[in-house]
């Protein structure tokens, strides 16, 4: 276990950094050191970290501030704080923020080794627990990666809108994470223990989509060999998410509008009205205002859907979040592929940061997965040649004034 784990040590005292680095490397860990809080955060942004060991008192930032910022970048990172006797109260505050435990100075080397092993074992148990309960953990707001101003605005809207019954229209380009936002809205609401049901409106023909949404009675159409409940019924008391809602054909828009207004509908081929309690979330990358003007989308349905509007920013408008996303993806694909790459090279990170990402976060994920899979067995970091040529060859357009 230890050989694949990376530990970040943040302390402004060189002797302590050297001692901890020597002890932990002897136990088989990869160790990164930082002499202050800012460098620690930079390291966590560029490299997947399994454990943070941070001093509580440093010149530029407190250990609590370092812990808070590192946890935003890498939520699953374990942490231990190092403190003098007089700051134990602050160490307890750090534990409330997610630190596993604290060590008091002067510390015993064997005690450090024991706590490190315990913290990493605790982290492993937590990851197993999250995998067993993905719907109750993976979609918390804190687990959406990003700390840029645009993402803070997004988190604020999600936090305020999550617990209402109002319909929410989630807008954004393909690949920017609209479904992740929809799941965050559901799993941070009072409906979290109820079903979350998703439908892609662009993936089905009109007949199949109507049956998928509202269900059908036996023999309602050719091939309907048995009665089938629709997604509205399956989502009762929970949340129904309509992805690519702008692609719904005009005849179905009428039935959807009635279902939203009256909270009832009939199955295809049926006459009995079925009442449901469903909170509706919808997403689109389409210009619905233009579709309304062109007569392709009902204006009354448009206003019914966007009681609350959430706009997910494209990745090119929040490039400050790219290092954190890279670290998150690297950790994920290391685990999935049995690799232990510790990060990306400075040159690779520069290329990743300057790229414009027409495919948004999904494109970044694919690039990191490719780098992890294609890296040689002895590689320790992702280097530029492991990135797609679209990223390597990209040159930003420079706008010059006259």
Task: Please write the tens of the pLDDT for every residue from 59-68.
Answer: 888 888 998 8
Q: What is residue 110's predicted lDDT score, i.e. its pLDDT?
A: 85
Nearest CA among 387, 385, 350 for reference residue 368: 387
User: Does 315 have pLDDT greater than 80?
Assistant: yes
- Quote the CA–CA distance of 201 and 381 in Å, as a whole number: 40
Cα dihedral sign, 324-48-185-206:
positive
pLDDT band, residue 279 (cuts 50/70/90): very high
Provide mean pLDDT across the span 286-311: 95
What is the mean predicted confidence (pLDDT) over 177-203?
91
Separation CA 48–CA 125 (nearest Å): 18
pLDDT interval class at 2 (50, 70, 90): very low
CA distance 391 to 385: 10
**Which pLDDT band holds residue 132 (cuts at 50, 70, 90)?**
very low
Inter-CA distances, 308 with 161, 251, 304, Å: 8, 25, 10
CATH superfamily of 141-313: P-loop containing nucleotide triphosphate hydrolases (3.40.50.300)
Q: Flag whether pLDDT at 364 surpasses 50.
A: yes
**Percentage of the chain with pLDDT > 70?**
89
CATH number of 316-392: 1.10.8.60
Q: Each residue of 363-402: b (16+ CB within 10 Å) or e?
A: bbbebbbbbbeebeeebebbbbebbeeebeeeeeeeeeee
Give the pLDDT mean for 161-181. 93
Q: Are 237 and 194 in contact (CB under 8 A)?
A: yes
pLDDT at 77 (0 to 100) = 87
CB-count burial class (<10 Å; 0-12, 13-18, 19+) for 89: exposed
Q: What pairing do the DSSP bridges indicate for beta strands 274-275 and 264-265? A: antiparallel
Structure tokens at 124: 């492993």
pLDDT recorded at residue 129: 42
Domain with CATH 1.10.8.60 in the chain: 316-392
- State the pLDDT at residue 223: 77
Whole-number mean pLDDT of the chain?
Answer: 87
pLDDT confidence of residue 222: 81
Q: In this model, does residue 375 exceed pLDDT 80? A: yes
pLDDT band at 399 (very low <50, low <70, confident <90, very high): low
Residues of the chain within CATH 3.40.50.2300 domain(s) are: 2-132
Cα Rg for the chain, rounded, in angstroms? 25
- Residues facing residue 47 across a β-bridge: 343
DSSP annotation string for 241-266: EEETGGGS-HHHHHHHHHHHHHSEE-
pLDDT above 90 as % of the chain: 57
Q: Are strands 78-83 and 196-200 parallel, antiparallel or unpaired?
A: unpaired
Q: Taking Cα atoms as reference points, which of 81, 72, 71 lies closest to residue 9?
A: 81
What is the structure's pLDDT at 131?
A: 44
The domain made up of 2-132 has a fold known as Rossmann fold (3.40.50)
Mean predicted confidence (pLDDT) in 189-198: 90
Q: Where do the CATH 3.40.50.300 domains begin and end in the chain?
A: 141-313
Tokens 């448009």 found at: 302
Instruction: Please tell me the predicted confidence (pLDDT) of residue 86.
Output: 52
Query: pLDDT tens digits, residue range 102-130?
Result: 787 788 888 888 889 888 887 776 554 44
Residue 357 gets the label, from left (phi > 0), alpha (psi -120 to 50) or beta, of: left
Separation between Cα atoms, residue 101 and residue 173, nearest integer Å:
42
Q: How confident is the model at residue 95, as a pLDDT?
A: 67
Q: Answer yes or no: is pLDDT of 290 > 70.
A: yes
Smallest CA-to-CA distance from 252 within 219, 303, 284, 205 is with: 205
Q: How far is CA 320 from CA 331, 340, 353, in A?
A: 19, 25, 8
Instruction: Give the pairing type, strands 381-382 and 343-344.
Output: parallel
């Amino acid at each position: 276990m230890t050989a694949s784990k990376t530990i970040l040590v943040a302390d402004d005292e060189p002797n302590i950094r050297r001692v901890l680095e020597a002890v932990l490397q002897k136990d088989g860990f990869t160790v990164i050191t930082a002499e202050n809080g800012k460098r620690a955060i930079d390291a966590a942004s560029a490299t997947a970290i399994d454990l943070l060991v941070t001093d509580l008192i440093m010149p530029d930032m407190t250990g609590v501030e370092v812990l808070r910022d590192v946890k935003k970048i890498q939520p699953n990172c374990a942490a231990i704080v190092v403190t003098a006797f007089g700051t134990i109260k602050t160490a307890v505050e750090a534990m409330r923020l997610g630190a596993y435990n604290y060590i008091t100075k002067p510390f015993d080397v064997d005690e450090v080794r024991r706590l490190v092993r315990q913290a990493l074992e605790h982290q492993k148990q937590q990851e197993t627990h999250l995998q067993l309960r993905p719907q109750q953990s993976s979609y918390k707001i804190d687990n959406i990666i990003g700390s840029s101003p645009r993402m803070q605005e997004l988190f604020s809207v999600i936090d305020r809108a999550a617990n209402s019954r109002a319909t929410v229209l989630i807008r954004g380009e393909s690949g920017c994470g609209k479904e992740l936002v929809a799941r965050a809205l559901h799993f941070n609401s009072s409906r979290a223990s109820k079903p979350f049901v998703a439908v892609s409106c662009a993936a089905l023909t009109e007949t199949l989509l109507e049956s998928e949404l509202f269900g059908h009675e036996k023999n309602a159409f050719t091939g309907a060999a048995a009665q089938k409940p629709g997604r509205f019924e399956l989502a009762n008391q929970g949340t129904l998410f309509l992805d690519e809602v702008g692609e719904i054909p005009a005849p179905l828009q009428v039935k959807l509008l009635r279902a939203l207004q009256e909270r009832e509908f009939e199955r295809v081929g049926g006459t009995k009205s079925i009442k449901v309690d469903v909170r509706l979330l919808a997403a689109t990358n389409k210009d619905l205002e233009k579709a309304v003007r062109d007569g392709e989308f009902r204006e009354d349905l448009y206003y019914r859907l966007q009681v609350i509007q959430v706009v997910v920013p494209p990745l090119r408008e929040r490039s400050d979040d790219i290092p954190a996303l890279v670290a998150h993806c690297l950790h994920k694909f290391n685990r999935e592929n049995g690799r232990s790459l510790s990060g990306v090279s400075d040159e690779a990170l520069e290329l990743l940061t300057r790229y414009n990402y027409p495919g948004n976060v999904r494109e970044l994920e694919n690039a990191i997965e490719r780098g992890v899979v294609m890296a040689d067995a002895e590689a320790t970091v992702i280097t530029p040649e492991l990135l797609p040529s679209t990223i390597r060859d990209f040159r930003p357009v420079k706008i010059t004034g006259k």
